[in-house]
Structure 1
Amino acid sequence: MSGRYGLVVVANRLPVDLTVEDDGSTSWRRSPGGLVSALEPVMQAADGAWVGWAGSPDVEADAFDGDGMRLVPVALSADEVRDYYEGFSNDTLWPLYHDVISPPEFHRRWWDAYRRVNRRFAEAAADQAAEGATVWVQDYQLQLVPALLRDLRPDLRIGYFHHIPFPPLEIFAQLPWRRQVVEGLLGADLIGFQRAGDASNFVRVVRRLTDLSTKGQVITVPGTEETAARTVRAAAFPISIDSARFDAMARTEAVRARAREIRRDLGDPSVLLLGVDRLDYTKGIRHRIKAFGELLEEGRLAVPEAALVQVASPSRENVEAYQQLRDEVETLVGRINGEHGQIGSAAIYYMHHSYPPEEMAALYLAADVMLVTALRDGMNLVAKEFVAACTDDRGVLVLSEFAGAADELAGSLLVNPHDIDGLKDAIERAVTMEPREMRRRMRKLRRRVLEDDVTKWSRTFLDALALRPGQSPGAVMPTPQDGLADALTALVDRVHGGGSALLALDFDGVLAPLVDDPDASRPLPAAVDALATLAGVPGLHLALVSGRAVADLADKAGAPEGTRLVGSHGAERGALEGGALRREELTLDPARSALRSRIGDALDAAVEGTSARVEHKPASVVLHTRTATSDDAARLTDVALDLGRREGVDAMQGKDVVELSVLHVTKGDALADLRRELDVDTLLYAGDDVTDERAFATLRPDDLTVRVGPGSTKARFRVADPDAVADLLMSLADRLRSREP
């Protein structure tokens, strides 16, 4: 029997907690946590139902309406809380999925409880969902629910979102019940992850542990006598916050007054650093406090001019690892305060509490530097809350590169929290940052956070979940004009109808996975094979368009005979003919040549003593910072961009790279020239970087433009990674071969 709700969220916890008093009376209060903050506005807008545990064991409660949604409590016994939640979820899955920072434990009793509770959640969701409804299952505690729910209600559209990291195969394979978990997740139509790498990890696990067919990020689940075959997509949907709410809250006079009061109560330090976390061993709290303590010991910071406020919300206090962490953090705070604190001025203000959003907004507004030093984190919404609250463009975000937020929050100071010296340098840089640079970085951060809010996240996920099976194979996220499969069919029809087409591809991040050492980059064998097949198709022209020098591109790409090569972002041209590279000679006038030499000399001097490198090309100089420390990378990037402001220099910034060209050409110019030269009817171009975005913007609206990987884009379509590009090329080759006479 179906319920009445068209959207049902299934999560371990309700957005409210049930509190049982000593006299037996009960009350409800809002739950803390990022998931509640992220989903509450979505559910209120949809008038949906939320299925979850009420937070107290051995308590039965009826469904009720609250906070603009239907709340459906699922009862758990004290034994189930111990075995399913504290045991399997938080002592088995949590450490396993966070790169085994703490060793996981495997107990069959815990697994049995996990299966039993997951079935109960699935049954509750099935009771609430209307015919054909959408059910959105949340997170690692409920990985079996999608398949259980599909067995109960095959009419439903089922999505699952994984809020924490999904580990590589080599780690996931340790789980004794690995196959059952994978099968549980494959009950969903769409499986969302925070990062593209997490989605790729999952697909790799499916490939290794099952016999299912995969194509890019799409998995085909065969049908049975009762059910048809279906597809499951694994995709990246980085979660966000209700950023407009935090922005508005931070602008109120009450919050601003509270922020001033907080600083006064702390003795008006010159610099206030802030950490806000659940008390969890994945958050890097000890590393952060250790780095701050060493800065005090070395005299690089001093009390009372500097103070650190550390908010550590209580978390899983019945789990032994968390009890031990609390003892270690409090001992470390006490030692540093004892050594560096003064009467009336502590070095570290440690708060083991949860706070309401208004107080958090005031704390963010009061802080000068936000420290997010997670050792492994799916996203980290605190980083985004801080940015949203910085309404005056003041404040610096120091952010772990191991948090999912690092993929999005360009403008932060990225750190490896295991590198204590590097972390100390980043903190010192944040504390001493010039106001102009601070404002520039924060404006960039705020644009991203305010544009990509929780509403956009939920809409993107739910829109993708609503797509028909077979749409946009391999897509990381749908774009407004989804339909890549149909566009490929149209291209094939055009070529076989006597027309012509140009297939142009970037190299790094498209044909070849990104690697730290550019010299080690190689295209995927499947992509090379597909290009070799496509090279023999009449009317289809191939081109590689890259930031690499043409000679380097010819050496590494493994492209077939006849492929046009465009290097240095359009400044160099060539073709593969007779098994060798035929180059179009490039000559610079003396003024441009001298300018390129001066820029090269300046960058060579700047990178001395770092692990960054400078590449000298015929018309440009390139700074590569992928192997540099985060601090060196940020400093050198600023140096390069300053050089790029010189008259006659064009700066192009990409992923860990800045190219300074003295010849003003672009990939878009090169593609336009190739179109005219080859007189083609249509063009397909795939790229992954900001230089490719510039090209997408200049191409025709009906061209097939494909963004590879996450990030905002002007492309019509999107695929996940180079594996998905290889799948696309193989699909195109198969379609063209199938039409051959």
Structure 2
Amino acid sequence: MDKAEFVVVANRLPVDRTVDADGSDAWRRSPGGLVTALEPVMHKADGAWVGWAGQPDVVLDPFEFESTLLVPVTLSAEDVELYYEGFSNDTIWPLYHDVIAEPRYSRLWWDAYVRVNRRFAEAAAAAAADGATVWVQDYQLQLVPRMLRELRPDLVIGYFHHIPFPAYGLYSQLPWRRQVLEGLLGADVIGFQRVADAGNFARAVRRQLRYETKASGIAVPNPDGTTRMSLARAFPISIDASSYIELARRPDVQERARQIRESLGNPKRIFLGVDRLDYTKGIRHRLKAYGELLTEEKLSVDDVTLVQVASPSRERVAAYIQLRDEIELTVGRINGDFDTMGHTAIRYLHQAYPREEMVALFLAADVMLVTALRDGMNLVAKEYVASRVDNRGVLLLSEFAGAADELGTAVRVNPHDIEGLKEAMMRAVEMSPGEQGRRMRAARRRVLEHSVEDWSREFLEALEKFHPRRSVSDDRDHPQIDDQAVLDALARVAASDRLLVALDFDGTLAPLEDEPMNARALPTAAAAVAALAALPDTPVAFVSGRSLHDLREIAEHADDAQIFLAGSHGAEFWLPGEGALETDDDEDAPTLRDELREEMTAQVGDLQGVWVEPKTFGFGIHTRVASAADAQTARDAADRLVQERAPHWRRRTGHNIVEYSFRHEGKDSAIAALRERLGATAVLFAGDDVTDEDALASLGPDDLGIRVGDGQTAASVRVGSIQELAAALALLARMRAEGRE
């Protein structure tokens, strides 16, 4: 068997086994999003895919399929029962989904899980070339990274966790909690859907293993006494939006959508739910809310129909058998109470459909109900948005689904709040076409600008950058500071009694991103910041124009972090041990802020590459991926609106962004406040943008200002890049540490 430079390890192979008319076996590509995401990578790298063929007791040799080497792992019927249906889906699945159903703990299941994970690891080790990259997928294989590292320490290992990772109070119930954490930490990079999931994982590692966890990585001890770093962070997955758009524009699919509406009696509104039949999806909650709206006569079956597609899932697991019985009983009761001869309350479909039919359903549906009680991402929400090429329809989205982090213009709901869910459903039914358009355009922009291929590329780029085998002699990633002025300035402030190191984030520690919430500090920068923060009398602060909420997310800032934060240009603060400080505002200001945001969202909705970012005290107009003409149109419109409605607001410009705020603080006031609170005898501040110049200009003779990149500046020294700043901060940390020995 040829060795592969890139190996994917997943529970299932990317193909489904079929039988031809002549009775011979055949294979067809699976329709899943993961297969779509990795297809280009597999072809480019002549990759291999290790997985189960989907049927018990089938022994197959490795074989080629569409330029990919497939390496089947054999599972016996007992393996399927104990490892897959037992530990994976009756222990891990309910535990990691907030114990919506009670997890069961069986030593027999655990033993099978270990045994099967070992089998997958051995198959991957045999398929991988020297120094290959191996990417392990999901909760069924959490032990594989460590097993693989023990078998093949030469490999670069990544792991992606597609489902939620629970809070420590729940995770700690798992009898084998340490073994699972140690298994995952065998990977160089561990990816999660949400920042909160990565934070939950890091907290579990701290509590259980007592390893040091920082934004720069988790220090994992090696058997020989050395330490390596493992990075845990969020990489939200997406879909192949172009394929849904192509289908949605096909005349036959559009005609099928018309037929669906006609078959339902052409109701005024169609609600749609599309889910696996799973207790995590909140199907019972949406049925309850819908039934109550019919009972209260707020909705009528003459006007509204709910279509619920519930594809079969884990039909041999007791909890799923019970769930199906409950849902079908509820559907039958509601239909019995409210159906008429011409209209039905709920069209319930317990079957799976091809993608063409699903897109037709998306086009037919006026309101998409995604009411998951807990979900890693929920790609159905993104599929609905991508399919709505008419920029109409309403997405009603659970705040407990990962998609809620990205699709901010959806109508967000807490599915446990039945009254709130009912109100949201009525709001969706009554929403004007104009508001639908504004919300849907913004949601589609996010889905179209972040594809599933972007997801795989970002993960693999992070894996390449983070892996410790990268040469430290690579000047692009590890530049040396040879500017004597910078060296002298660093030596001077390194001798300060109490040095405040205050740093802008975007463009200073993290590369600028087209999607700003994707920004993360470079590993070298994060490591240098962590080294400074660990020193005595060296408080570190991030001073950013971001809202405090967004700054905490992109900085991966945990509740027990020791780094101070100043958000919204110094209008918000977060202090270690105290948390966020409350701010006093004009009580009318938030109302005006919301009105202006909504008006601007409507005005720029048709401008490609322009979007409105909500901020705590105002909003920003982003134009990084817009044409020059559209960017100018957006800025002019915002200037006119703010001048007319809020002439007292402060206007700031930055890298392809204009910000408007009813708070007038600047980064200079943030530095002054932090200096006083921390008793700093000197301040180092580094920034890259126009908005940083207030702070740089405010520094005194004992301080040090560093400008990152080009542009006019009040800073006393300049470095050329984020990498050079990281090197300067690392050198400063060494200077201060040596000066205190």
TM-score grouping bracket, smaller chain normalisation? 0.7 to 0.9
| 1:223 aligned partner | 222
Assess if the C-alpha contact under 8 Å between 2:273 and 2:307 holds in 1.
yes
Q: Is the 8 A contact 2:184 2:190 kept in 1?
A: yes
Secondary structure of 1:533's partner?
A: coil
Q: CA deviation at 1:672?
A: 1.6
8 Å CA contact 2:491–2:732 kept in 1: the answer is no
1:674 maps to which of 695, 703, 710: 695
CA RMSD of aligned residues (A): 4.5
Displacement of 1:44 in angstroms is 4.6
Greater Cα shift, 161-170 or 241-250: 241-250
Q: Is the 8 A contact 1:238 1:457 kept in 2?
A: yes
547 and 91 in structure 1: CA distance in 2 versus 1, 3 angstrom threshold: closer
Counterpart among 448, 464, 467 of residue 466 in structure 1: 464
Q: Post-superposition shift, 1:42?
A: 4.4
Query: Match for residue 89 of structure 1?
Result: 88
Q: Are the equivalent residues in 1 in contact too, given 2:396–2:424 (CA < 8 A)? A: yes
Cα gap change, 1:10/1:281 in structure 2, threshold over 3 Å: closer, same or farther?
A: same
Tell me what 2:267 maps to: 269
Residues 442/153 of structure 1: CA separation in 2 closer, same or farther (3 Å cut): same
Q: Secondary structure at the match of 1:534?
A: coil
Supply the distance in 1 between the matched residues of 2:435 and 2:714 (Cα, whole angstroms). Answer: 37
Aligned pairs for 1:299-310 (under 5 A) are 299-310=297-308
Number of paired residues? 612
- Call closer, same or farther: CA 1:364–1:597 in 2, change over 3 Å: closer
The answer to whether the Cα contact below 8 Å between 1:217 and 1:235 also exists between their aligned partners in 2 is: no
- Kindly state the Cα deviation for residue 569 of structure 1 after the two structures are TM-superposed: 4.3
CA separation of 1:387 and 1:600: change in aligned 2, threshold 3 A: closer
Instruction: Give the aligned residue type for 2:231.
Output: R
CA distance in 1 between counterparts of 2:20 and 2:113 reads: 28
What do residues 255-288 of structure 1 show as CA deviations (whole Å, max 9, x unaligned)? 2222222212222111111111111000101111
Residue 147 of structure 1 aligns to which amino acid in structure 2?
R
- In the other structure, the counterpart of 1:738 is 738
Q: Distance in 1 between matches of 2:379 and 2:714?
A: 36
Shift of 1:289: 1.2
- Tell me how far 1:244 sits from its aligned partner: 1.6
Task: Tell me, in whole angstroms, the C-alpha distance in 2 between the residues paired with 1:333 and 1:102.
Answer: 21
SS in structure 1 of the partner of residue 132 of structure 2: strand
1-structure distance, mates of 2:386, 2:127: 35
What letter is aligned with 2:110? W
Aligned partners of 2:572, 2:213: CA distance in 1, in Å? 38
Q: Is the 8 A contact 2:696 2:714 kept in 1?
A: no
CA distance in 2, matches of 1:285, 1:736: 58
Change (3 A) 1:297 1:490: farther
Give, in whole Å, the separation in 2 of the partners of 1:621 and 1:107. 48
Residue 230 of structure 1, CA deviation: 2.0
Per the TM alignment, residue 737 of structure 1 is displaced from its structure 2 partner at its CA by 3.4
| Secondary structure, aligned partner of 2:278 | coil
- Report how far residue 488 of structure 1 moved: 14
1:162 corresponds in structure 2 to 161
Return the offset for 1:49.
Answer: 1.6
Q: 1:213 aligns to what? A: 212
- The answer to whether the 8 A contact 2:543-2:570 is kept is no
Does 2:286 correspond to 1:318?
A: no
Structure 1 residue 489 displacement after superposition: 12
Of residues 57-66 and 312-321 in structure 1, the stretch that sits farther from structure 2 once superposed is 57-66
Q: Which amino acid aligns with 1:110?
A: W
Measure how far apart 1:455 and its partner are.
Answer: 0.7
SS at match of 1:421: helix
Matches of 1:601 and 1:401, distance apart in 2: 23
* Matched ranges for 1:152-301 at <5 A: 152-216=151-215, 218-225=217-224, 229-301=227-299
Contact 1:203–1:217 (CA<8 Å) still a contact in 2?
Answer: no
Tell me the SS of whatever aligns to 1:146.
helix
Deviation at 1:341? 1.4
Which 5+ residue runs of structure 1 have no aligned equivalent?
A: 473-480, 508-525, 549-563, 574-592, 607-619, 625-640, 654-658, 686-695, 706-714, 718-724
Deviations 1:550-578 (CA, angstroms, capped at 9, x unpaired): xxxxxxxxxxxxxx9999747999xxxxx
Kindly state the Cα deviation for residue 197 of structure 1 after the two structures are TM-superposed: 1.3
Give the drift of 1:7. 1.3
SS class of match (2:271): strand
- Between the aligned partners of 1:603 and 1:152, the Cα distance in structure 2 is 57
Matching residue of 1:582: none
CA contact (8 A) 1:199 1:217 kept: no
Which of 337, 340, 365 aligns to 1:339? It is 337
Which residue identity is paired with 1:369?
Answer: V
Residue identity opposite 1:57 in structure 2: P
Q: Is the alpha carbon distance of 1:113 and 1:347 closer, same or farther for their aligned partners in structure 2, counting shifts above 3 Å?
A: same
Whether contact under 8 Å (1:259, 1:362) holds in the other structure is yes
The alpha-carbon deviation at position 436 of structure 1 amounts to 1.2
- Secondary structure of the residue that 1:6 maps to in structure 2? strand
- Letter of the 1:534 counterpart: T
1:258–1:402 CA distance, 2 compared to 1 (3 A): same
Aligned partner letter, 2:81: R
- Alignment-mate amino acid for residue 414 of structure 2: N
TM-score in terms of structure 2 length: 0.72
Aligned partner letter, 1:195: R
Aligned equivalent of 1:420: 418
Cα shift at 1:97: 0.6
Deviation at residue 92 of structure 1 after TM alignment: 0.5
Match of 2:490 in 1: 496
CA separation of 1:178 and 1:328: change in aligned 2, threshold 3 A: same
Deviation at 1:492, TM superposition (A): 8.0
Question: Which of 526, 530, 538 is matched with 1:534 structurally?
Answer: 538
Using a 3 Å threshold, how does the CA distance of structure 1 residues 272 and 102 change in structure 2: closer, same or farther?
same
CA change 1:201–1:698 in 2 (3 A) is farther
Query: 2:276 and 2:26 mapped to 1: Cα distance?
Result: 24
Q: Secondary structure at the match of 1:467?
A: helix
Q: Specify whether residues 200 and 395 from structure 1 end up closer, same or farther in structure 2 by C-alpha distance, changes over 3 A only.
A: same
Q: State the TM-score, normalizing by the size of structure 1.
A: 0.72
Aligned to 1:123: 122
| Whole-angstrom CA distance in 1 between matches of 2:139 and 2:419 | 34
1:471–1:485 CA contact under 8 A, matched in 2: no
| Aligned partner of residue 239 in structure 1, secondary structure | coil
Q: In the TM superposition, what whole-angstrom CA distance separates every residue of 1:674-729 from its partner, at most 9, and x where no partner exists?
A: 322327764489xxxxxxxxxx9999799999xxxxxxxxx969xxxxxxx9xx99
2:270–2:367 contact (8 Å) kept in structure 1: yes
Query: Which amino acid in 1 is paired with 2:253?
Result: V
Given that 2:650 and 2:662 are in contact with CA atoms closer than 8 Å, whether structure 1 keeps it comes out as: no
Q: Which moved more, 1:660-669 or 1:317-326?
A: 660-669
- CA deviation after TM superposition for structure 1 residue 541, in Å: 11
Residues of 2 paired with 1:495 and 1:83: CA distance?
63
Q: Deviations over 1:111-153 (max 9, x none)?
A: 1111111111111112221221111100000011111111222
Whether contact under 8 Å (2:618, 2:662) holds in the other structure is no
Preserved CA contact (<8 Å) 1:146 1:158: yes
Question: Counterparts of 1:32-71 in structure 2 under 5 Å?
Answer: 33-40=32-39, 42-44=41-43, 46-71=45-70
Q: Give the structure 2 partner of residue 10 of structure 1.
A: 9
Q: Which moved more, 1:59-68 or 1:151-160?
A: 59-68
Tell me if structure 1 keeps the 8 A contact 2:275–2:311: yes
Instruction: Report the 3-state secondary structure (helix = DSSP H, G, I; strand = E; otherwise coil) of the residue aligned with 1:166.
Output: coil
Structure 1 residues 200 and 485: alpha-carbon distance in aligned structure 2, compared to 1, 3 A threshold: farther
* d(CA) in 2 for partners of 1:13, 1:144: 16
Partner SS state of residue 260, structure 1 = helix
Among 353, 356, 373, which residue is 2:354 paired with? Answer: 356
CA distance in 1, matches of 2:543, 2:43: 50
Q: Distance in 2 between matches of 1:664 and 1:25?
A: 73
Question: Is the CA contact (8 Å cut-off) linking 1:566 and 1:670 kept in structure 2?
Answer: no
The equivalent residue for 2:608 is none
Report the alpha carbon displacement of residue 35 of structure 1 after superposing the two structures with TM.
Answer: 3.6
Q: Is the 8 A contact 1:317 1:323 kept in 2?
A: yes
Partner AA of 2:458 in structure 1: T
Q: Which whole-Å deviations, capped at 9, do the CAs of 1:500-547 have from their partners, x for residues lacking one?
A: 99844689xxxxxxxxxxxxxxxxxx9998798137xxxx99979898
Separation in structure 2 between the aligned mates of residue 136 and residue 365 of structure 1, nearest angstrom: 36
Aligned equivalents of 1:113, 1:702: Cα separation in 2: 61
